[in-house]
């Protein structure tokens, strides 16, 4: 959360320990939620808390107290998909309500309904084109609209999927998705047990439900021009490095658009940088046209990784010295890059590594170790540090 704020996010979407769609994430307990809201408001940022899973009857009994707690700590909005949760939120609080993409809003009539019921914002379904979003904006005013601009895509409409529940007893609609759409499948005839036949959608492979990741940097200007109010990056189960880099790039692109400097050269640089975070091959999703075979990755469900996240700048010690917290092993002789919140990245050859505890010069630094780094240029607390993977390839 601190990282995305550092790199330019206006708001962070976070989950508590209850009723959110990221059950495998550590998530925030009540005290951490309170601290998160205080920090965000101190920075002039906002916190949206997810209550977007579909509850059963027993969980509904717990909701009033939890909703009232969220109101007491002054969260800026809660995100819901279920009408019952929406109704309880209206009954027990005055918290502004955001409608989740799970609610599958694909037309102006449903958005208009949520507006009339009292929702402040609707996160539109990911299956809409630019033309359709623009039409919704034209027909429904006085409600905020939000769209996804970067991240993993789900094979099911707005993430409403039963496949994980059926195969593993872990329900995607309860935040426990095991992503069986990313698995490789074979065909077995019932009278020939143990004989597996590969399933081909075409000659390139059998990952028949494995979507590429969404990337909109090349037409972000067109998305802004639809009149939407908020742009969302999917990333709560991602690393700080992923969240920071993607936030930085889209922040720069948005600012560039409004400054009148959005250009093909910049788009090329931004897209190249987005290839430096862990990702699957990219697709434009539904924005430009209906999806086709090019939207699927038939060869592998693995991620492409070009860089290692090796540390974060903690504080300035002296004029050119900074305290670094190491996240992954780095060695003397490696070249590292410091990703500043604004401006170009800085490349540094590690001619020496200084142990912060005793000022000894060491050959390598390990995770959770603190070191001193001499940097001639200005950097800030919160800047991320990376190194190129030795086996990295272009894509």
Task: List all residues 6 or more positions away from 243 whose beta carbon is below 8 Å from its beta carbon.
Answer: 3, 4, 7, 233, 235
- Which of 3-12, 207-216, 338-347 is predicted least confidently? 207-216
> Is pLDDT at 25 greater than 80 in this prediction?
no
Q: How much is the average pLDDT of 312-335?
A: 92
> Is pLDDT at 172 greater than 90 in this prediction?
no
> Is pLDDT at 309 greater than 50 in this prediction?
yes
Confidence of residue 164 (pLDDT cuts 50, 70, 90): low
The count of structural domains within the chain is 2
Is the residue at 340 inside a domain? yes
- Which of 51-60, 249-258, 337-346 is predicted least confidently? 51-60
> Is pLDDT at 74 greater than 90 in this prediction?
yes
Do residue 24 and residue 146 come from a single domain?
Answer: yes
Do residue 220 and residue 76 come from a single domain?
Answer: yes
Q: What is the CATH number of the domain that holds 339?
A: 2.40.30.10
The better pLDDT of the pair 203, 100 is held by 100
> Is pLDDT at 40 greater than 60 in this prediction?
yes
Range of the domain at 50: 2-156+212-280
Do residue 152 and residue 94 come from a single domain?
Answer: yes
Confidence of residue 306 (pLDDT cuts 50, 70, 90): confident
> Is pLDDT at 154 greater than 80 in this prediction?
no
Task: List all residues 6 or more positions away from 69 whose beta carbon is below 8 Å from its beta carbon.
Answer: 30
CA dihedral over 162, 167, 172, 177, signed as positive or negative: negative
Q: How much is the average pLDDT of 120-148?
A: 96
Q: Tell which of 232, 261, 280 closes a domain.
A: 280
Confidence of residue 393 (pLDDT cuts 50, 70, 90): very low
Task: Return the pLDDT at 394.
Answer: 42
Is the residue at 197 inside a domain? no
Is the residue at 177 inside a domain? no
Q: What is the CATH number of the domain that holds 231?
A: 3.20.20.70
Do residue 137 and residue 253 come from a single domain?
Answer: yes
Do residue 249 and residue 329 come from a single domain?
Answer: no
Confidence of residue 27 (pLDDT cuts 50, 70, 90): confident
Residue 151 CA, distance from chain mean position: 6
Q: If DSSP codes are grouped into helix, strand and coil, which group holds residue 110?
A: helix
Nearest to 302 by CA among 389, 200, 162, 184: 184
The better pLDDT of the pair 193, 301 is held by 193
Q: If DSSP codes are grouped into helix, strand and coil, which group holds residue 131?
A: helix
Task: Return the pLDDT at 24.
Answer: 58
- Which of 49-53, 244-248, 300-304 is predicted least confidently? 300-304
CA dihedral over 331, 372, 308, 237, signed as positive or negative: positive
> Is pLDDT at 132 greater than 50 in this prediction?
yes
Do residue 275 and residue 312 come from a single domain?
Answer: no
- Which of 17-21, 206-210, 223-227, 295-299 is predicted least confidently? 295-299
Is the residue at 316 inside a domain? yes
Cα–Cα distances (Å) from 142 to 32, 121, 133, 139, 227, in that order, read 33, 9, 15, 10, 12
Highest mean pLDDT out of 50-64, 148-162, 164-178, 379-393: 50-64
Do residue 261 and residue 327 come from a single domain?
Answer: no
Is the residue at 350 inside a domain? yes
- Which of 25-29, 146-150, 316-320, 375-379 is predicted least confidently? 25-29
Alpha helices in 1-81 (DSSP H): 2-6, 30-42, 57-60, 63-72
Q: How much is the average pLDDT of 324-344?
A: 92
Do residue 253 and residue 357 come from a single domain?
Answer: no
Confidence of residue 115 (pLDDT cuts 50, 70, 90): very high
Confidence of residue 238 (pLDDT cuts 50, 70, 90): confident
Confidence of residue 2 (pLDDT cuts 50, 70, 90): very high
Q: If DSSP codes are grouped into helix, strand and coil, which group holds residue 331?
A: strand
CA dihedral over 314, 149, 103, 212, signed as positive or negative: negative
> Is pLDDT at 387 greater than 60 in this prediction?
yes
Is the residue at 166 inside a domain? no
> Is pLDDT at 276 greater than 90 in this prediction?
no
The better pLDDT of the pair 352, 71 is held by 71
Do residue 378 and residue 239 come from a single domain?
Answer: no
Is the residue at 107 inside a domain? yes
Q: How much is the average pLDDT of 200-229?
A: 79
- How far is Cα 310 from Cα 326, in angstroms, rounded to an integer? 6
Q: Tell which of 236, 261, 280 closes a domain.
A: 280
Do residue 129 and residue 271 come from a single domain?
Answer: yes
Q: For helices 63-72 and 83-92, what crossing angle results, to 10°?
A: 50
Confidence of residue 308 (pLDDT cuts 50, 70, 90): confident
- How far is Cα 320 from Cα 375, in angstroms, rounded to an integer? 5
Do residue 249 and residue 378 come from a single domain?
Answer: no
- Which of 38-47, 57-66, 148-157, 333-342 is predicted least confidently? 148-157
Is the residue at 285 inside a domain? no
Task: List all residues 6 or more positions away from 17 whose beta carbon is below 8 Å from its beta carbon.
Answer: 27, 28, 29, 30
> Is pLDDT at 296 greater than 90 in this prediction?
no
The better pLDDT of the pair 170, 350 is held by 350
The better pLDDT of the pair 198, 321 is held by 321
Do residue 260 and residue 316 come from a single domain?
Answer: no
């Amino acid at each position: 959360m601190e990282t995305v704020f550092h790199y330019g996010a206006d708001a962070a979407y976070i989950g508590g320990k209850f009723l959110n769609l990221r059950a495998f994430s550590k998530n925030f307990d009540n005290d951490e939620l309170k601290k998160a809201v205080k920090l965000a408001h101190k920075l002039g940022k906002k916190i949206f808390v997810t209550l977007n899973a579909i509850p059963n009857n027993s969980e509904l009994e717990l909701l009033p107290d939890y909703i009232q707690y969220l109101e007491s700590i002054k969260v800026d909005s809660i995100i819901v998909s279920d009408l019952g949760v929406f109704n309880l939120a209206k009954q027990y609080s005055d918290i502004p309500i955001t409608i989740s993409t799970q609610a599958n809003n694909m037309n102006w009539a449903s958005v208009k309904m949520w507006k009339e019921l009292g929702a402040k914002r609707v996160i539109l379904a990911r299956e809409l084109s630019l033309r359709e979003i623009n039409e919704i904006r034209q027909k429904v005013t006085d409600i905020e609209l939000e769209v996804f601009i970067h991240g993993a895509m789900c094979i099911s409409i707005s993430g409403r999927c039963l496949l994980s529940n059926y195969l593993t007893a872990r329900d995607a609609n309860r935040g426990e998705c095991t992503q069986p759409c990313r698995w490789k499948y074979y065909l077995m005839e019932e009278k020939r047990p143990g004989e597996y036949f590969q399933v081909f959608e075409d000659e390139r492979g059998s990952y028949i439900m494995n979507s590429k990741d969404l990337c909109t940097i090349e037409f972000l200007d067109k998305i802004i021009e639809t009149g939407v109010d908020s742009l969302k990056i999917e990333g709560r189960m991602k690393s700080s490095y992923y969240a920071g880099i993607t936030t930085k790039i889209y922040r720069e692109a948005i600012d560039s658009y409004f400054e009148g400097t959005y250009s093909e050269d910049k788009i090329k640089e931004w897209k190249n940088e987005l290839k430096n975070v862990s990702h699957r091959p990219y697709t434009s999703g539904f924005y430009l046209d209906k999806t086709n075979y090019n939207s699927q990755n038939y060869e592998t469900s693995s991620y492409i990784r070009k860089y290692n996240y090796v540390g974060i700048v903690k504080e300035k010690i002296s004029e050119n010295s900074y305290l670094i917290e190491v996240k992954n092993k780095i060695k003397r002789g490696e070249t590292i890059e410091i990703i500043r919140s604004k401006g170009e990245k800085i490349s540094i050859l590690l001619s020496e590594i200084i142990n912060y505890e005793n000022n000894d010069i060491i050959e390598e630094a390990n995770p959770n170790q603190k070191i001193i780094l001499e940097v001639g240029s200005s950097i800030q607390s919160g800047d991320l540090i990376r190194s190129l993977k030795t086996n990295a390839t272009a894509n």
